[in-house]
């Protein structure tokens, strides 16, 4: 299982979202924490040119995170897909 940390900026971005979308994103993050490695989730992709940075789809939003070690991910951004690429 993965531990999940939030960057303060990601917490702020999550807090600005409507409650329905916020709950949807929290559910995706909960699914991610149940896995041994982020790439086991079907909606997770590695960011190009980066060895430890990933993104995950959640509707029209992208959750960007960094793999700190084998057991911990740090969510760095939660952005709308138009901004999140």
- pLDDT tens, 8-46? 999 999 999 999 999 999 999 999 999 998 989 999 999
User: Which DSSP string corresponds to the chain?
Assistant: --EEEE-HHHHHHHHTS-HHHHHHHHHHHHHHHTSSSGGGSTTEEEPTT-SSEEEEEETTEEEEEEEEETTEEEEEEEEETTT--
H or E element, residue 15? helix 8-15
pLDDT at 84: 59
Name the average pLDDT for the chain: 92
Confidence of residue 50 (pLDDT cuts 50, 70, 90): confident
pTM for this structure? 0.89
Options 1.20.1560.10, 3.30.310.80, 3.30.2310.20, 3.20.20.300; which CATH number does 3-80 get?
3.30.2310.20
Calculate Rg over the CA atoms of the chain.
12
pLDDT at position 49 is: 86
What is the residue extent of each domain of the chain? 3-80
What local confidence, expressed as pLDDT, does residue 83 receive?
A: 84
């Amino acid at each position: 299982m993965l531990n999940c940390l939030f960057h303060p900026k990601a917490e702020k971005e999550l807090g600005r979202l409507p409650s329905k979308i916020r709950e949807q994103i929290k559910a995706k993050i909960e699914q991610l924490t149940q896995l041994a490695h982020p790439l086991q989730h079907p909606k997770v992709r590695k960011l190009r040119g980066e060895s430890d940075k990933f993104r995950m789809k959640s509707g029209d939003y992208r959750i960007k995170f960094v793999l700190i070690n084998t057991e911990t991910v740090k969510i760095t951004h939660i952005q709308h897909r138009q901004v999140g690429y």
